[in-house]
Amino acid sequence: EIEGKPMIEHIIQKLKRSGFSNFIITTHYLNEIINEYFGDGVKWNVNISYIHEDTPLGTGGALTLLPDDITDLPIIITNGDVITDLDYSKFLEFHNKKQFDITMCVKRLENKIDFGVVEVNQDIVEKIVEKPTMSYLINSGVYVVNFDQLSKFERGIEITMPEIIEHCQSYGSIVGSFVLKDYWIDVGQPKDFYKVRVNTNDKNN
């Protein structure tokens, strides 16, 4: 829980404010507790259904269990341990405007190195950079996927989202990136859990 609510509830409320009302939660560990708490979503005026994995299949594997007739529209996928101020409607709008098959939400992180970095070529020191700041784009754990992309995969296989993306690319699918400039944190580790803050809008819902 964060501020008295499960992380998934915060995610659902943020998505609801962006105009989304239909949710599927994939479960494995503690699925009975999750099902009992969220039910069919009527408490939040949304529709919630569930897909249960008997054995963990990875984020990509869970997607292969979605019903074939659920939609022909793009779907938003988010990890359950990600808290962000991302405007999901703008994310989807970007995906549609660019006509991507898959869009990965990425976050720029900077890592300051507290030592001089030495560049060496064949034992010769070529350059010394004192305490540089390295910049990276990392996977934020949030995606938009055109539903037809999932037809490329066997039902119930164990596969990660990066593997899903790489496989789709091998078939010529266009995978785009959306740079997230808003607050984001992955709270999969206890040390990160205690850093999290939640948008004040959630406190009143």
Which residue type is seen at 1?
E
Please give the biggest Cα pair distance in the chain. Answer: 67
Alpha helices for 42-83 (secondary structure H): 58-63
For the question of whether the overall pTM of this predicted structure is more than 0.95, the answer is no
Which residue type is seen at 62?
A
pLDDT at 203: 43
Tell me the pLDDT tens digit for each residue of 79-94: 988 889 999 999 999 9
C-alpha dihedral sign at 76, 80, 82, 84: positive
Q: Is the pLDDT of residue 204 over 60?
A: no
Tell me the pLDDT tens digit for each residue of 166-191: 999 999 999 999 999 988 887 766 66
Q: Is the pLDDT of residue 151 over 90?
A: no
Residues sharing a CB contact under 8 Å with residue 14, sequence separation 6 or more, in sequence order: 84, 85, 86, 88, 199, 202
Q: How confident is the model at residue 200 (pLDDT cuts 50, 70, 90)?
A: very low
CB 168 within 8 A of CB 63: no
For residue 11, the 8-state DSSP code is: H
Q: How confident is the model at residue 16 (pLDDT cuts 50, 70, 90)?
A: very high
User: Number of C-alpha atoms within 13 angstroms, CB side, residue 27?
Assistant: 19
